[in-house]
Amino acid sequence: MRTQVGIVGAGPAGLLLSHLLHRSGIDSVVLERRSRDYVEHRVRAGVLEQGSVDLLRRTGLGDRLDREGLRHEGIELRFGGTAHRIAMTELTGRAITVYGQQEVVKDLIAARTAVGGQLRFEVEDVRLSGLDSTSPVIRYRHQGREEELHCDFVAGCDGSHGVSRDAVPAGVLTEYERQYPFAWLGVLAAAAPAAEELIYAHHERGFALHSMRSPEISRLYLQVEPDTDIADWPDDRIWSELRTRLETVPGWSLNTGPILEKSVTGMRSLVVEPMRWERLFLAGDAVHIVPPTGAKGMNLAMADVALLGDAFAAWYHEGRDDLLTGYSDTALRRVWRAQHFSWWMTSLLHRLETQDPYEAKLQVSTLHYLTSSRAYATSLAENYVGLAEV
Ligand code: FAD
Ligand code: DHB
């Protein structure tokens, strides 16, 4: 089989790239290891920046997003027994939209299949070759058969455990990494959210986040030890810990209900540079990871492929290679801004393993400053809603 751009991975990055290429008249094939059902039901991110929403709307994917997405104009920072609102829209003119990542993925798969887009699910053993030639080949196994996909370019959109990055020869890429001594336990619960906006809670027992997916479904997170076994967290323990960390403001109580899904996610920061080698272009979690506190991962993945979509269009339709050549440098500017913001939000809100009392005092001082200074609050807000120019 032959295509113009071979895409590995059907997460937000790979699917959106395929959609954008189609809109520019460029052919692509997406190869995904998991089943369609699996990727459509994988519970992960929930916050779309204004720029991500604008991109989805602009490219014909705004219908369900506009009907079901929840537009938020502020977030709450809760600490020291008080609640403080960061008025994002008042400060920046922009807003975020709460819309589950799996809903974005469903919309993208529906849009691709509606126009006969080539998505191959449950492929095995993906191998890349010829990346330094003008005709790379992706080999894989599908339904027991060995297959070959010949293409002009390969887009590695296969997330943090993918294979694309490993196809680059040793010595080419540089990794910048930071580990954190904690993880997040996330739950999805059939309980009406107890607040209209997200609550980021700083607490001496650890961070907690109150989010949502709809007027009937809450999405909640707890900071836990990195090696946490989910079996040690029966539902009662989760609710009790959430109450302790979130019910710190007089008169506010959490709504509870059946837990529909729960999982533990490790946290790390990683950037791999450059994001291109010869005819391989890397995007999304395949080249950079952020801790989830800043709600940036999915948005960065979408911003990467927006650049790639334009770069491939310039190459195919105008014979220009400047955007492809500049892709890595341009993308990395946004990536590093999001790296800093995610690291900063994480450092500000989590209980540190060492319980360094000096550091803990600095966290509280920063929280007071953030919630009393319009200048500092604006900095948080503009990063959170997403900067138009980086
Ligand atoms: P992925 O979504 O990981 O997609 C990669 C795809 O490639 C997968 O479908 C995978 O199965 C496939 N694949 C892997 N290896 C292979 C292979 N060898 N062959 C074929 N296919 C392969 N981000 C936000 O922006 N906002 C948030 O609020 C937010 N909250 C989060 C909360 C949690 C608990 C977690 C875990 C993440 C959160 N994120 C958030 C991050 C966000 O989910 C990721 O950054 C996003 O999924 C990245 O998209 P991607 O397409 O690059 O990678
Ligand atoms: C959600 C996830 C995040 O990482 C975050 O910072 C805010 C919200 C969520 O899943 O709703």
Q: Please choose, from the candidates 33, 11, 36, the residue with its C-alpha nearest in 3D space to the C-alpha of residue 123.
A: 33
Atom nearest to 293 CA in ligand 2: 6
Print the domain residue range for 366: 181-267+353-385
Ligand 1 lined by 96 (C-beta under 6 Å) = no
Kindly state whether residue 256 falls inside one of the protein's structural domains: yes
Rounded to two decimals, the pTM is 0.97
Kindly state whether residue 169 falls inside one of the protein's structural domains: yes
Q: Do 373 and 342 reside in the same domain of the chain?
A: no
Ligand 2 lined by 72 (C-beta under 6 Å) = no
Kindly state whether residue 209 falls inside one of the protein's structural domains: yes
Q: Do 144 and 238 reside in the same domain of the chain?
A: no
Atom nearest to 184 CA in ligand 2: 4
Atom nearest to 211 CA in ligand 2: 11
Tell me the CA–centroid distance for residue 11 and ligand 1, in Å. Answer: 6
User: Tokens standing for 116?
Assistant: 């006969």
Domain count, the chain: 2
Q: Is the peptide bond before 357 cis (omega within 30 degrees of 0)?
A: no
Spatial separation of the C-alpha atoms in residues 257 and 189, rounded to whole Å: 6
Q: What CATH number should be reported for the domain holding residue 327?
A: 3.50.50.60
Q: Do 195 and 263 reside in the same domain of the chain?
A: yes
One pLDDT digit (tens) per residue for the chain, 390 residues? 999 999 999 999 999 999 999 999 999 999 999 999 999 999 898 999 999 999 999 999 999 999 999 999 999 999 999 999 999 999 999 999 999 999 999 999 999 999 999 999 999 999 999 999 999 999 999 999 999 999 999 999 999 999 999 999 999 999 999 999 999 999 999 999 999 999 999 999 999 999 999 999 999 999 999 999 999 999 999 999 999 999 999 999 999 999 999 999 999 999 999 999 999 999 999 999 999 999 999 999 999 999 999 999 999 999 999 999 999 999 999 999 999 999 999 999 999 866 678 888 999 999 999 999 999 999 999 999 999 888
Q: Do 330 and 366 reside in the same domain of the chain?
A: no
Tell me the CA–centroid distance for residue 44 and ligand 1, in Å. Answer: 8
Among residues 99, 140, 180, 200, the one annotated as catalytic is 200
Look up the ipTM and state it. 0.96
Atom nearest to 123 CA in ligand 1: 20
Kindly state whether residue 191 falls inside one of the protein's structural domains: yes
By most ligand atoms within 8 Å of CB, the mutation choice from 298, 308, 335 for ligand 1 is: 298
**Is position 296 annotated as part of the catalytic site?**
yes
Other residues' Cβ atoms within 10 Å of the Cβ of residue 9: 29
Distance of CA 336 to the CA centre of its chain: 14
By most ligand atoms within 8 Å of CB, the mutation choice from 18, 36, 101 for ligand 1 is: 101
Amino acid of residue 371? T
**Is position 200 annotated as part of the catalytic site?**
yes
Q: Do 105 and 167 reside in the same domain of the chain?
A: yes
Q: Are 255 and 311 in contact (CB under 8 A)?
A: no
Q: What number of CA atoms fall less than 13 Å from residue 193's CA on the CB side?
A: 19
